[in-house]
Amino acid sequence: MSARQNSSPLTHQVTLTVLTLAAFALAIVVGFGFYAAAQSDETSLERQKIFIADGLKDQIAAVQREQESVTVWDDSVTNVRAGNQAWIEENLSTWMYTYYGHNRVYILDAANHAIHAMREGKVVDASTFGEDAPGLQPTIEKLRHMLAEPPKADATGQSPKMVAQDLVSLQGKPAILSVMPLVPSSDRVTQAPGTEYLHVSAEFINDTVIGKIAAKYLVKGARLVPLSQPVGGAAVPLVDSRGVILGYIGWDEERPGITLVRKMAPALAVALLVAGGVLLFLLRRLRRASAELQTSQDEAQYLAFHDTLTGLPNRALFEDRLRRTLLFAAQDETRVALLYLDLDRFKHVNDTLGHPAGDELVRQTAARLRHTIREIDTVARLGGDEFAIILLDVRDIRSAEDIADRLQQKLCEPFKLIDDQVFVSASIGIALSWGSETDADDLLRKADIALYEAKKNGRGRYQVFAGDMDDLLLRKRKVEAELRKALDGGGGIKLAYQPVFAADGRRILGAEALIRWGHEVHGALPAAQFIAIAEERGLIGELGKWALTEACAFAARTHLPWIAVNISPLQLRDTGFAEQVASILAETGLDPARLQLETTEGVLLEHDETIGTVIEALRETGVRMVLDDFGTGYSSLSYLRRQAIDKLKIDRSFVRLLDEDDSACAIVRALIELALALKVEVTAEGVETDGQKALLVGMGCHQFQGYLMSPPLEPGQLLALPGLSTGTPARSVANA
């Protein structure tokens, strides 16, 4: 068996589906995981940005608060007005540096001239103000403007604080700038509007300041990122009031999502590995299961189209191939030969050597056939011992015949079966396709007919289909159909009875029943012809039973000493035949001793044990066995000697020659002497002349049948015969 073992489309499909689903599921899980992580990271970043921005605002507010602690103070107003530089340094400038970390402080008079300057805790020349002035000027102007036109009080009645703040860039460094007027804290000191001194304080937004902000919100790695440096996502811009970016506060972005993912990665990897392992395991099982399914599917498919015994294509596959082959052949304008092959002695081998030997014979035959034909040709087993061969691209009938010849030679070689060596032969029917209109069914039928002809003409030969075979077969089929109808109660079949006479030519010894079929279309068909068709088409059992019943019933009603009924060899091969006869006798009430069964010599030739036992059984019940047409076949003398036969009927072909042929006389005399020697009765058939009868009487023959005395008669005619009407006792079995 050649069912495919490698993986099948089904397996691929299943694997692909499962893998796709698994990949899809994995993608969803991983994708969602990363999405959630990214989402959480983004939220966290937004929060950090808000923290830093708030921190910066707080820092700006702190600078204002710190400045306010010294600007709203009577002492500040009086000391600055007095130009007390020592006091100013101690309380308004270096103090701001040491205590609050303000980097630069300038004290400006009403005309905005610097009267004091401090940088990084050191008093410097007031003119240094000029360096920073461009950056500071807008904010100073803003405050002066506020002082000139104080803003209105808000809803709560609180007058707004006099302060102007901004982010500025001082010498390229971002800073928080805060400008406030020096104003008295009590009524003891007065200050005329427009005469205020200003306190200008700047705190650089450096890493220290940023560190303070970041520490409050637990943000790591916070630092100043100057404009010259690239900035990442984790950054807040330092923007002045005009919208100009001065730099950035950057930090190490905290990414809780990704951190979580990283932390879980090993565990996830292990889980994935386990899931992958489980999936792989399931997949392998699935693949195996689907492979098994596919294999069994393939096997079923194979079994549906192949013969289990030989592995050859069966009839279904063969017919399909034939149809295709014919189609292609018509296209290519080539010819196809169909060979039907049948072993001649298969049944015999089966019956004598047993079924295992029969099977072995079929197997070996298949192998020989396969090895004899070409690869491209097809040999199929149609059943039993029947094979069919499709030969492609056959030039002419000669080439087909050559192959048939070769096949027959191959099959003639001895077969070694289990313990025995046997010789068989094969009959072959050949049909050749012709042109494009060849139909598969037609070709099959023709090969079948040719095979039938080959068998009929003697075994071990091949026969090419000839046109007239077709008509013959069609006619036979028609007869068969009509015969079936007749047997099914359609009528038309009758029995004629031909009396058998004693030597005196008057005394009736018995009668032979002869079948008659008067058909409306076919007319009166000769019995031998339609009997042969009935045998061929499997109708003989039924027909024989009908004749036997009819004849026995008739005889039982008459004074006939005995009735002879013709039996086909096929009937004798049926193991149940003896029983059938017994039951018919019982049914019709005919004494078994009054029944004679005529059969031909051929039967004896078939060394068939069944036939032997059936004949024995019949004779044991008292039925007589008659050998019909004696002399035309080859009788086994040993069979005759074993007294398995009660009577011989000398064939009418010899009787006919008696008048003219001396050698015929010698043969008939020898046959009669043989019968006498074997102590069996002898009847001469077909006696037509007085001369024939006289010669036969002279040779010692006892019984006569023929047109000279009487042709086969209708039942009524027979009973009207004088011999019978005189009332011959039914039981006086004549042994004249």
- Compare residues 218 and 528 and give the one whose CB is closer to ligand C2E: 528
* Residue 566 touches ligand C2E, criterion: CB under 6 A: yes
Total residues contacting ligand C2E by CB under 6 A comes to: 24
Please compute Rg for the chain using Cα positions.
64
Residue 502 or residue 527: which is nearer to ligand C2E going by CB? 527
The reply to whether 690 sits near ligand C2E by the rule CB under 6 A is no
CB of 514 to Mg ion, least distance (A): 7
What tokens appear for 735 in the block?
């042994």
Say how far residue 645 (Cα) sits from the centre of its chain: 63
- The one segment of 15-23, 402-410, 416-424, 525-533 that binds ligand C2E by CB under 6 A: 525-533
Six-digit token pair at 310? 């030989």
Closest distance of CB 438 from ligand C2E, Å: 39
Contact flag: residue 598 with ligand C2E (CB under 6 A): yes
CB of 512 to Mg ion, least distance (A): 5
User: Phi/psi at 247 (nearest 5 deg)?
Assistant: 165, -170
> Does 595 interact with ligand C2E (rule: CB under 6 A)?
no
Beta strand spans in 14-109 (E): 104-108
In 558-596, where does DSSP find H-type helix?
569-572, 577-588
Q: How many residues does the chain have?
A: 736
Instruction: Indicate whether 601 belongs to the interface with Mg ion (CB under 5 A).
Output: no
User: For residues 552-581, which are near Mg ion according to CB under 5 A?
Assistant: 566
Q: Which two tokens stand for residue 368?
A: 């020989």
Provide the minimum distance between the beta carbon of 524 and ligand C2E in the complex, in angstroms, as a whole number: 10
> What residues numbered 489-508 form the site for ligand C2E, per CB under 6 A?
498
DSSP per-residue letters across 584-613? HHHHHT--GGGEEEEEETHHHHS--HHHHH
Minimal distance in Å, beta carbon 509 to Mg ion? Answer: 15
Q: What mask, x for binding ligand C2E by CB under 6 A, covers residues 402 to 441?
A: ----------------------------------------
Cβ 549 to ligand C2E shortest distance, Å:
11
Q: Are strands 164-170 and 173-181 parallel, antiparallel or unpaired?
A: antiparallel
Tokens of 675: 């019968």
Instruction: Give the x/- contact pattern for ligand C2E in 709-728, rule: CB under 6 A.
Output: ---x----------------
Q: Does 707 bind ligand C2E (CB under 6 A)?
A: yes
Choose, by CB under 6 A, the member of 48, 325, 568, 692 that binds ligand C2E. Answer: 568
Measured from the CB atom, the residue of 56 and 655 that comes closer to ligand C2E is 655
Give CA 223 to chain center in angstroms: 72
Which two three-digit tokens encode residue 236? 């807040």
Q: Rounded distance, CA 378 to CA 318, Å? A: 8
For residue 420, the partner it binds in Mg ion, ligand C2E, none, with Cβ less than 5 to 8 A by kind, is none
CB of 545 to ligand C2E, least distance (A): 10
Give residue 383's identity as a one-letter amino acid code: G
Contact of 11 with 290, CB cutoff 8 Å: yes
336 burial type by CB count under 10 A (0-12 exposed, 13-18 middle, 19+ buried): buried
Which residue from 203, 344, 482, 628 is in contact with Mg ion, where contact means CB under 5 A? 628
Report the residue from 342, 360, 401, 629 that binds ligand C2E according to the rule CB under 6 A: 629
Residue type, 192: A
Amino acid identity of residue 410, one-letter, is K
Which residue carries 């007027």 as its tokens? 181
Alpha-carbon separation of residue 581 from 1, 415, 568, 611 (angstroms): 49, 40, 13, 14
Paired tokens of 396: 């002419």
Figure out which of the listed residues 247, 250, 686, 723 binds ligand C2E, where binding follows CB under 6 A.
686
Q: Is 598 in the site for Mg ion (CB under 5 A)?
A: yes
H runs (alpha helix) in 149-243: 207-216
Q: Does 629 participate in binding Mg ion (rule CB under 5 A)?
A: yes
Question: 665: how many CB neighbours lie within 10 A of its CB?
Answer: 17
- Residue 528 lies near ligand C2E (rule: CB under 6 A): yes
| Cβ atoms of residues 502 and 734 within 8 Å | yes
Site string for ligand C2E, 505-524 (x = CB under 6 A): ---------xx---------
Residues forming contacts to ligand C2E in the complex (CB under 6 A) are: 498, 514-515, 526-528, 531, 544, 547, 566-568, 598, 628-629, 652, 685-688, 705-707, 712
Residues forming contacts to Mg ion in the complex (CB under 5 A) are: 566, 598, 628-629, 685
